[in-house]
Amino acid sequence: MGDCSQEKLHNIRPAAGSGLPSPGGRRFVIQKHAARRLHYDLRLEIGGGLVSWAMPKGLSTTPTVKRLAIQTENNPMPYADFEGMIPQGKYGAATGMLWDMGRYRNLRAVPRKGKRRRSMADSLRQGWLEGKKLHGGYALKRLAKEGKPQWLAVKMKDSKADARRDPLSIAFDSVLTGRSLREIARQSHDDCG
Ligand code: MN
């Protein structure tokens, strides 16, 4: 099974225009990851790769509920298209689902005085997500300069903020294939014989 899944990982078609910002914004994905502890991986296209955070509870839809986001390793762009089984023995081995995907826009598009280019940190501060399940402005705040790279993800106050509408508790399945985690796991297993 491991070899089969690994092959799939390498056969993923690279995202169109990989490495270049797309006209409608950059890509983002949220992968639901059934690792030892179920969590959500938020990945943003930055500098031609995916900057990633593991979120134990995912993103909220209301400014009053802040969510922890632990920055993890960066991933190559093709990872944004991955849904299936990550082979045993690999980092993050378990079933991964494309829970949400879309584009995001930086809400801090104007460079600060004296800075010709925005740093990654500036770029990350506030962004507008246009996903299939999640929409609106989110702010990412670094909690501490030292130690584990922990961040807080906060829904900004805008027209898309809505405490009553929480996709995490109603839209469980893949945004790409409509499959549940269980179906993805079973089909990955079957594909490999
Ligand atoms: Mn993960």
Residue 105 CA to ligand 1 center (angstroms) comes to 23
Instruction: Report pLDDT for 114.
Output: 64
Residue 30 CA to ligand 1 center (angstroms) comes to 10
Report the distance separating Cα 164 and Cα 98, nearest Å. 23
Please list the pLDDT of the chain residue by residue as tens digits (193 residues): 333 443 344 333 334 444 444 457 899 999 999 998 999 999 999 888 999 999 999 999 999 999 999 999 999 999 999 999 877 776 666 899 999 999 998 887 555 566 555 555 555 678 899 999 999 999 998 887 777 789 999 999 999 999 898 999 999 999 999 999 999 999 887 766 4
Those residues whose beta carbon sits under 5 angstroms from the ion ligand 1 are 33, 41, 92
Residue 41 CA to ligand 1 center (angstroms) comes to 5
Q: How many CB atoms lie within 10 A of CB 26?
A: 19
Instruction: Report pLDDT for 102.
Output: 96
Residue 162 CA to ligand 1 center (angstroms) comes to 26
Cβ atoms 49, 126 nearer than 8 A = no
Residue 92 CA to ligand 1 center (angstroms) comes to 6
Residue 90 CA to ligand 1 center (angstroms) comes to 12
**Residue 14 structure tokens:** 């690279």
Instruction: Report pLDDT for 15.
Output: 40
Residue 59 CA to ligand 1 center (angstroms) comes to 14
Helix intervals (H) in 126-191? 167-170, 181-191
Residue 15 CA to ligand 1 center (angstroms) comes to 20
Helix intervals (H) in the chain? 2-11, 120-125, 167-170, 181-191
Residue 115 CA to ligand 1 center (angstroms) comes to 34
